[in-house]
Amino acid sequence: MIIYMGDVTGIDIDKGEALKLFEDEFKVNPSLKSDYLIYYFASIIQADKDHAKDLILNELKDNYSDPQKLNESQLSSVINAYTRLRLLDKAEPYKKQIFEKYPKGNYIQSQKYSEFKGIKDADAKKSFIETFTNGFPTSDYLYYMKNILVNDYAKAEQFDKAKDYLDNYFLNAKAVQFNSLAWAMYEKNGDLQIALKLAQKGVELARLELNEDSNKREVDQTPFEFKKENEHNLAKVLDTYGSIELKLGKKKMD
């Protein structure tokens, strides 16, 4: 977790010291190793590149050699490790086990999300989301897929499709999605009256998000960062709303 948080926050940390902290912690709480296995392996690679492969392979051989005895998190970490080491054949038994034992698990969902991102056509992405929703109706990945789709429609200036999806299918959309679409329509000469309504909806959501419980923040966010982000989102959508109003006013004057 130390290496991971350093990467996320941009903090410059000593890789060797981070690895030592991991190892010291695991001596006291050995059960934690399985929970942070993927980060532990990442710390080994960053701290000791010359010996990382052998160290990781020994760890896998000694403690994670039987796929049937591993939980989903462990299986995923082992697959990731073998993939990073380019030993894809060794990863196969673990992949087989995770697909059979956890067909609705996070690893399967992450693979499908990667597949989704490789799709170029926006309408094909929409169809993919429909199928994915049937299999994983409560998946966290749905939010990110829907966000990408709305942005793709906006980039292609298919504003009607973007708005329809935002209104009827993206029911947990946030202020940022409404702001992004409204701003795209403002910049690309879309229907400004519709853009204004989208921005207005964004303002309403942003005000609500200001009062959200900080427990809803991302794992790498502090409560302060969460609050600041929500304040920033409100400021952005207010700016969008004002810009659209100004543009509409100039059109009326013309």
Which tokens sit at 206? Answer: 């942003």
- Is residue 170 pLDDT above 70, yes or no? yes
Please give the pLDDT value at position 251.
Answer: 67
- Is residue 243 pLDDT above 80, yes or no? yes
* Region of poorest pLDDT, from 6-10, 89-93, 189-193: 6-10
**Better-predicted residue by pLDDT, 252 or 12:** 252
List the Cα angle 245/242/253 in 5-degree steps. 30
- Is residue 67 pLDDT above 50, yes or no? yes
Q: What is the chain's mean pLDDT, rounded?
A: 90
What is the separation, in whole angstroms, between the first and last Cα of the chain?
A: 59
Q: How far apart are CA 82 and CA 65, in angstroms?
A: 12
**Average pLDDT, stretch 225-248?**
94
CA distances from 113 to 80, 148, 191, 243 (A): 16, 11, 32, 35
- Is residue 133 pLDDT above 80, yes or no? yes
Q: How far apart are CA 154 and CA 134, in angstroms?
A: 25
Say if residues 83 and 91 touch (Cβ distance below 8 Å): yes
- Is residue 104 pLDDT above 80, yes or no? yes
| Sequence spans of domains, the chain | 2-103, 174-253
**Better-predicted residue by pLDDT, 90 or 37:** 90
Q: What is the DSSP string of 51-69?
A: THHHHHHHHHHHHS--GGG
The rounded Cα 115 to chain-centroid distance in angstroms is: 14
- Predicted structure pTM score: 0.83
**Average pLDDT, stretch 26-40?**
86
